[in-house]
Amino acid sequence: KTVISREYSSEWKVGMEPYYPVNNEQNNKLFEEYRKLAEQEKNVIFGGRLGNYKYYDMDKVIEAALEMVAEEL
């Protein structure tokens, strides 16, 4: 069997469920605080949509992961 699904992006508005990071001033400030804490962690790599607090298409997530592995190795 084959399942085909489509996803159509839309601009986030107040009252909508935020499935992806909402890059506003408050959230970006909070992310910056988390980023500073993350830099203090040893032997932990933060990446992907949540680790970078950015929306990525899956091909970009994979590309970023491979680049991060290349840096670490």
Provide the residue range defining the domain that includes 67. Answer: 25-72
Selection from 52, 51, 40, 45 nearest residue 70 by Cα: 45
In a domain, 33, yes or no: yes
Selection from 62, 32, 38 nearest residue 49 by Cα: 62
In a domain, 29, yes or no: yes
Q: In terms of pLDDT, which residue wins out, 3 or 11?
A: 3
In a domain, 41, yes or no: yes
Q: What is the pTM of this model?
A: 0.60
In a domain, 13, yes or no: no
Quote the pLDDT of residue 25: 92
In a domain, 51, yes or no: yes
Cα 10 from chain centroid (whole Å): 17
Residue 21 has pLDDT above 90, yes or no: no
Number of domains in the chain: 1
Report the percent of the chain where pLDDT is more than 70.
Answer: 100
